[in-house]
Amino acid sequence: MRENSEDKPIEFFAKFPNTEYNRLIVRHPRQDDSVFAMAYQDAANRLASTYRGQPIDDLMLLPFLMLYRQAIELQLKEMIRTFASLRRRFHERNNLKLLPDAIETRLRDSRILGHNLEALSREMLKHFHALEFGEDFPASTGELVKLLHDADKRGTAFRYAGQLPEKQDRLDFPDLVERLDNEFRMLGAVEDSITEMYSAGPQPENESDWQ
């Protein structure tokens, strides 16, 4: 759901017009949170690819974590939308709490979900279990989301100075990158598996009525 659907040009972008193809970068309209999640993950991994084990690389740690946290937050939100839609379409057509507007209201309300990874994870799992997928949610993925939440409960600790403990932390960066990449991909794999399961089964009658 868009907060601002106006087609008015963005002046900031207009200040940098492209004239050569090999210098071109494009902002595509109508991209959803799933695409944005992959964009943040891709940006994080590109940043990580510049790591050379030098002291200057310490500067990339928090920006890298900020990008991955945002990617995971957006992926959880997209899973909530997808699973809620499947619940309404196949199981609970008259459940008003599963309407898109109701879901968006919960996602945007900082008192309910907002940027809280733990709350988003609980909400996603509520829909996951209601769909009776037949498999447990991957434990390592749930653990990683919980660890990220505990490290940055408000969604600002990786963005601003002074919000983490006053101590030095020493991490294995390649291991960190691999774990975050694996668990982010697992979130997408779970969503894809459930979506494919429902798309392969019998479809509800009056398909146009549920939307």
DSSP 3-20: S----PPPHHHHTS----
Q: What is the number of structural domains in the chain?
A: 1
Q: How does residue 1 score in pLDDT terms, banded at 50, 70 and 90?
A: very low
Q: Is 35 helix (H, G, I), strand (E, B) or coil?
A: helix
Please indicate, yes or no, if residue 18 is contained in any of the structural domains.
no
Does pLDDT of 152 surpass 80? yes
pLDDT tens for 132-144 read 888 999 999 999 9
Q: Is 97 helix (H, G, I), strand (E, B) or coil?
A: helix
Please indicate, yes or no, if residue 16 is contained in any of the structural domains.
no
pLDDT tens for 6-51 read 678 889 999 999 999 999 999 988 888 999 999 999 999 999 999 9
Sequence-ordered list of residues with C-beta below 8 angstroms from that of 90, at least 6 positions apart, any chain = 198, 204
Q: What is the pLDDT of residue 206?
A: 64
pLDDT tens for 167-210 read 999 999 999 999 999 999 999 999 999 999 998 777 877 655 44
Phi, psi (degrees; rounded to nearest 5) at 54: -105, 155
Domain of residue 128 covers 33-190
- Side-chain half-sphere of 74: how many Cα atoms within 13 Å? 18
Please indicate, yes or no, if residue 20 is contained in any of the structural domains.
no
Q: How does residue 3 score in pLDDT terms, banded at 50, 70 and 90?
A: low
pLDDT tens for 37-92 read 999 999 999 999 999 999 999 999 999 999 999 999 999 999 999 999 999 999 99
